Structure 1
Amino acid sequence: MSKHTTRRRFLVAAGLAGTTLLAGCTGSTGGGNGGTMGTATTEEMTTESTTEQSGSTPTDPESAPRATVDRFSEAAGTLMVRTDENGLPGPDEAVDFDGGPFITQGLGPDGEVVRYYNFDVQATTPAPIYALFREGEDTPVEGQLNVIDVIPGDEGYNDFWHVHKVTVPEDYEANTATSLADIEDAGYEMEATDMLVNCPVVPDGSTASMRYGDEDTGLVEGWYQGMVVSYFQFTEAALTLSGDSVPLSPIYVTFNVNPGEDGGGPPSGFVTEDGSDQTHNVVATLPDDSGYSPLWFVNIYDNADFDAVSDLGSATDAEQLASGAANVNCPIVSVE
């Protein structure tokens, strides 16, 4: 089993653990037999299953085309949009998320030193991701890549994915379905779970070497409209829908120039301690807390209060300049 497959299976199986996974069809397709599936009906269903897949052959991800991914285009980015001045990576250029503007050192609710990645603004409406299971099985199809239908820059894209379980026939061959269109055309049953996963789609070869705990830091592969894409996976805490939305947790930040002033807000950068990368950005929750979410509800406090802020209490006591300025995907990867 490849590393990609191992990670993909964990992504789905971890969230569906403890859930009873039922086969797609549990009764007769016709009348008679009191609802009991007779021999003729079983043969008929087997024929139908084979017919559904006739003309379709599996695609080897190793030889499939790859989608071009650009997280920093005007269509994809909000705070991180490529310009001649900032030099953010170009389309399909591998990104080192361990440096530059992509990782921040802040503070926890009790003054802990935390580090988190910066994956830009994300909506609270997740995008669907599709995981395929054969009828009667409670683990994903071996070797099958998960399927998505949007990537950065597409309308409706989100780093946060709402997991949908797709039930396929017992004789389904892995990677026969490589797009949402394939799944829909085949008429496979789809079931929305309450599970969310944080999996930013990135150019192949990108790196983000830090994780909270023993998470795998490598890239996972998936299908997007018949093309292969790569994404990170952050599993520092289990995530579930809050209603129909990604849950939020507060973060308090301050900038070198306050918003509303010339050049103020994000373009001016976070205030840091002298000679250090240490900000006084304070997260309200940590991965082991029940209310934790890596989608942060951003509150901005006056930079005049920077020295006085050392934990959540002092951050909330600081003069607040803006509440809910943005929702940003910043998974915590270190707590000291």
Structure 2
Amino acid sequence: MTDHPTEPPTRRPLLEVADLTVDLLPHGAAQRVVDGVSFTLHEEETLALIGESGSGKSLTAMAVMGLLPAATARVGGRVLHRGTELLTLGPAALRALRGRHLAMVFQDALSALNPSLTVGHQIAETLRAHEDIGRREARARAIDLMARVRIPDPARRYRDHPHRFSGGMRQRVMIAMAVALRPSVLIADEPTTALDVTVQAQIMELLAELREETRSALLLITHDLGLAAGTADRVAIMYAGRIVERAPVEELYAHPAHPYTRGLLDAVPRLDADADALTPIPGTPPAAGHLPDGCAFHPRCPGARPRCREERPLAPTAPSARSLACHYPLEPTHA
């Protein structure tokens, strides 16, 4: 499936991902868990990558960042940052690029942070790993970063260990580390997992502010359609390792064309609807390496036809603001 941006050709994307594949290499045959994923990200743009658990969202992000070990995963396709191919870079070149040009906010901040080091030390070391600065300057800049992400009393909290922070504050520490070097592309993998609604809103507002301040691009990975609705410019829906629908956020939410997208929206609770009106998607996603023939969604699709069971749908090849992988897309009047 190929992404076709509508931006003028002179506006070069910050990040281009083309036909990305990830094969896990357990004992036995390789299992393809990401299959032909393509998208672009431009300056000051947010793309939300949405799908159920196991759809391949996080593996896509890890592949883009070059964090999948070669011993257990094989990555194919193309990943370009400002035109530079990342998949062919060696370990040293990737380490130099990560943090300064590409950065990631992981979904479990407590696991991502080192429990034996203070949070201030960890932020400061991020700076010192990429810049020739002393400890005093690194400490001052780390405290400033903590203030920017609205951690109260940052000079005092600089000396605290991660376990002394709440979940929301730990996530702010992770964001401070990610934006320390003002990367042009920020990947946020489920950045509000296990946080209450108020803290979720604060974290997303902070990410949006930092994106505008640094003129960076944000790839938001989430299963929360409500979160994406208030944040993203474009949305890509992922199912069983493939992107099945991509569109501007307003258009996709108003007129979902793929039955899976429609199912995800129907399963979201709404204040103006009865809880009994929720319609869950029947069945479960297929296991990696065991996709059915044809469209991977057809066993769960209420509108599946014989063609869906036999032929895999492909995205249209003509340039468009919207792409879809479905033989029988929903009409706008059905949305």
Give the TM-score normalised by structure 1: 0.23
